[in-house]
């Protein structure tokens, strides 16, 4: 079965519906996953995309065909799937979501028994089963029906509330603007705000998958939220992506904060209460290094991909980590990026400090980060990276994933994306002009290969 137009990585298997993303593909991947896990109970949840039902039934069919029993959660955040795998003592899970990708995309993410996504080694084993057709089908008498499971959202909320100081937040009676982009956040975000005593200004909270804008919580998609914060005089604005693992912030002035601020604010607050090593990926701001250092804590970098970060966090006993795309990992809640928990944590930080969000953001170490993505033929990526290595000199080179080059006052990271058919160019410096100059140099190199 041809998979050349699919994006396959530690972030799952994703493609454009009706093109590379077909029921046949997802049925076979689900069957391969069931073969990998064994004939056990497998949790299944999905975001609100209109292709979700089609893929859900395809996943159910694949799992049932190899003797697994799907435990169907319905619409829920991706971190809820991982949490429910552990809560229900299942052997794995499947989250049907293309996360931040536009509406025409969909995908599946595979979850292990411990609630973590598949790592690179298990992903390669899954692909081997998929391609070599070593799928172990069950006989008719061993097929198990789908079991519907209720209460997943309440279980997740209970876990978050157990982590937060809800009474502290309740005492401030914050007004909060929330944009769920009609995604899975629509079924959990408003409930959290209610439980911590916030007045909610809700945008796009109908879980129907009709995205009013691209669901990635980056500045260009937060204009309406920014206006809602200003017009309602809200204390803060939150924007969730479609499967609620990333979150963007708008301060009380309507200023859209860069997505890197989400993790930086989370790390700042968690370390003020509990010291420990912090884990982030290679593309995350140096501000996290400065914050960790200020608290006498170490910082470890991993490959991009939340499972890479989460696995290292478990090894080190890290209290907080994540990725600079608005993804915060709080292991005491869930073993993956969790936008709902991050939202509660930011509110608690505001309540505990007595500061407005703008003040908290202004207190953080100052860096300018520029992020770009450019099309580049897959077969040209290695040659392109060789030119990058030759072009940029004088810095510390890290080739763990793509190429990252660090200088005393700046860095650049160029790597192929695992979620989109693009090459990402990310540069950071104290001076925005320098960061943009580094990105421009990277862009010129890529353009030679287009």
Report angle CA 407, 284, 353 to the nearest 5 degrees. 115
Tell me the two tokens of residue 210: 């009709």
328, 322 in Cβ contact below 8 A? Answer: yes
Q: Taking phi first (over 0 means left), then psi (-120 to 50 degrees means alpha), and beta for anything else, what does residue 173 get? A: left
| Helix (H) or strand (E) segment spanning residue 185 | none
Radius of gyration of the chain (CA): 21
Q: CB neighbours of 2 closer than 8 A, spacing ≥ 6?
A: none
- Going from the C-alpha of 119 to that of each of 195, 273, 305, 339, the distances in angstroms are 35, 30, 9, 21
Read out DSSP for 282-340?
TTS-THHHHHHHHTT--EEEE-SSHHHHHHHHHHHT-SEEEETTTEEE-TTT-SSB-HH
What does DSSP say about strands 175-179 and 236-240: parallel, antiparallel, or unpaired?
parallel
4 class by beta-carbon count within 10 Å (0-12 exposed, 13-18 middle, 19+ buried): exposed
Phi/psi at 281 (5° precision): -95, 175
Give the Cα separation of 407 and 398 in Å (integer).
Answer: 12
Nearest Cα to 197, choosing from 153, 252, 230, 235?
235
Strand order in the sheet with 199-203: 199-203, 175-179, 236-240, 247-250, 256-257
Give the active site residues: 99
141, 361 in Cβ contact below 8 A? Answer: no
435 class by beta-carbon count within 10 Å (0-12 exposed, 13-18 middle, 19+ buried): buried
- How many other CB atoms sit within 10 Å of the CB of residue 147? 11
For residue 398, give the 3-state DSSP assignment. Answer: strand
Give me the residues paired with residue 278 across strands.
299, 320
Phi/psi at 49 (5° precision): -55, 145
Tell me the two tokens of residue 27: 């049925």
């Amino acid at each position: 079965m041809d998979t050349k137009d699919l994006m396959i990585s530690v972030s799952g298997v994703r493609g454009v519906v009706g093109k590379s993303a077909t029921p046949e593909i997802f049925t076979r991947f689900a069957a391969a996953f069931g073969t990998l896990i064994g004939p056990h109970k497998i949790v299944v949840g999905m975001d609100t995309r209109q292709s979700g039902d089609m893929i859900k039934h395809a996943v159910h069919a694949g799992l049932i065909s190899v003797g697994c029993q799907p435990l169907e959660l319905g619409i829920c955040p991706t971190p809820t799937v991982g949490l429910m795998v552990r809560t229900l003592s299942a052997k794995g899970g499947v989250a049907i979501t293309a996360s931040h990708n536009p509406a025409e995309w969909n995908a599946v993410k595979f979850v292990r028994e411990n609630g973590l996504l598949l790592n690179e080694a298990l992903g390669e084993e899954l692909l081997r089963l998929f391609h070599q057709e070593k799928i172990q089908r069950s006989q008719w008498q061993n097929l198990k029906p789908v079991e519907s499971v209720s209460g997943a959202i309440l279980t997740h909320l209970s876990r978050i509330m157990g982590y937060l100081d809800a009474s502290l937040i309740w005492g401030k009676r914050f007004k909060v603007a929330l944009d769920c982009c009609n995604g899975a956040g629509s079924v959990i975000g408003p409930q959290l705000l209610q439980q911590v005593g916030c007045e909610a200004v809700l945008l796009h909270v109908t879980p129907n998958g009709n995205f009013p804008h691209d669901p990635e919580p980056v500045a260009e998609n937060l204009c309406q939220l920014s206006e809602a914060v200003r017009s309602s005089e809200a204390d803060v604005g939150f924007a969730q992506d479609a499967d609620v693992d990333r979150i963007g912030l708008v301060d009380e002035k309507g200023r859209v904060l860069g997505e890197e601020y989400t993790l930086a604010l989370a790390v700042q607050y968690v370390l003020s209460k509990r010291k420990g090593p912090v884990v982030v990926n290679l593309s995350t701001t140096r501000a996290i290094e400065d914050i960790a250092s200020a608290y006498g804590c170490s910082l470890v970098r991993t490959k991009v991909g939340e499972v890479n970060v989460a696995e290292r966090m478990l090894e080190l006993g890290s209290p907080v980590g994540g990725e600079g795309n608005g993804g915060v990992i709080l292991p005491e809640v869930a073993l993956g990026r969790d936008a709902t928990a991050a939202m509660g944590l930011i509110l608690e930080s505001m309540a505990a400090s007595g500061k407005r969000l703008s003040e908290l953001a202004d207190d953080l170490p100052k860096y300018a980060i520029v992020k770009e993505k450019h099309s580049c033929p897959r077969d040209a990526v290695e040659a392109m990276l060789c030119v990058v290595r030759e072009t940029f000199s004088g810095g510390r080179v890290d080739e763990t994933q793509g190429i990252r080059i660090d200088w005393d006052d700046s860095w650049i990271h160029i790597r192929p994306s695992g979620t989109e058919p693009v090459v990402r160019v990310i540069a950071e410096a104290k001076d925005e002009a320098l960061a943009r100059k580094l990105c421009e140099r990277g862009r010129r190199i890529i353009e030679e290969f287009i």
